[in-house]
Amino acid sequence: MNVDDPQSQFYLLEPTGMAGCGLVSYTIDVARKSWLCPRCGAVRHHRPIDVRLDDDPPKQALNFICGTFLGIMSREFRDALGEQLLDRYFHVGSVSFRGTINSADWFTFHGKHKLIVRRVERVIARTCEVCGRCMYYGMGRPHLFPEPPASVEIFHSGIAELVITAAVKERLMSRNWKNLAITKLEIPNRLLDGHQQLGAAGAIR
């Protein structure tokens, strides 16, 4: 790995102060029987997920639906990504509110490529017994291990967190987003969290 090569640089893009959005209650049971893992909240389907929410999401670029790993993105964020990156890296679904048609301002998303952002303190990694996803929790320095495949520009990590390349960062961060934090991710050359079994990047489902 050449750390000066932009191809090898990855950034964690994450919402700050997330409040989360609530699914309309009767749809939660329906979701648990289809796309939503009832144990860990993972999105189990590899397709767009359409949802109905109680209220408008807080006005921020990235958010999530409470109790799930399904993200919400604003129209502004979607437009900043552009159609090509959206199609390549996300399943994008619709959002509606009680008694309304689909919103033009909000969209659900989940990534086609998943990646664990590893931590260095109090790390717990275990497998969901229902869907098989690796549930990873930790604190401290965020980093990647091993180096992710260079052919992927955007990974979905955690609830509404994205791991993006330097080129995608340049594209997105030309705008002045509120409530978004960006952190450069180290790619150390040795295991720091003790969880060798997680294997190659993208091991989580």
Q: Single out the residue of 43, 200, 63 nearest to residue 118, CA to CA.
A: 200
d(CA 106, CA 61): 9
Phi, psi (degrees; rounded to nearest 5) at 118: -80, 155
Which residues does residue 83 pair with via DSSP β-bridges, in sequence order?
none
Per CB under 5 A, which region of 34-42, 55-63, 65-73, 161-169 contacts Zn ion? 34-42
Residue selected from 1, 39, 126, 191 as contacting Zn ion according to rule CB under 5 A: 39
Count of all residues that appear for the chain in the document: 205
The token pair at 155 is 């990974």
Q: Which stretch binds Zn ion (CB under 5 A): 29-37, 95-103, 109-117, 166-174?
A: 29-37
For position 45 contacting Zn ion by CB under 5 A, the verdict is no
The correct pick among 28, 66, 92, 128 for binding Zn ion (CB under 5 A) is 128
Residue 159 in contact with Zn ion, rule: CB under 5 A: no
Residue 40 or 85 having the CB closest to Zn ion: 40
Among 21, 31, 36, 37, binds Zn ion (CB under 5 A): 37
Q: What strands, in cross-sheet order, belong to the sheet with 10-15?
A: 154-157, 161-165, 10-15, 180-185
Instruction: Choose the binding region for Zn ion from 3-11, 36-44, 76-84, 179-187 (rule: CB under 5 A).
Output: 36-44
In the complex, the smallest distance separating the C-beta of residue 129 from Zn ion, rounded to whole angstroms, is 8
d(C-alpha 75, C-alpha 45), whole Å: 23
Q: Which is nearer to Zn ion, 133 or 143 (CB)?
A: 133
3 state SS of 41: coil
Applying CB under 5 A, the residues found at the interface with Zn ion are 37, 39-40, 42, 128, 130-131, 133
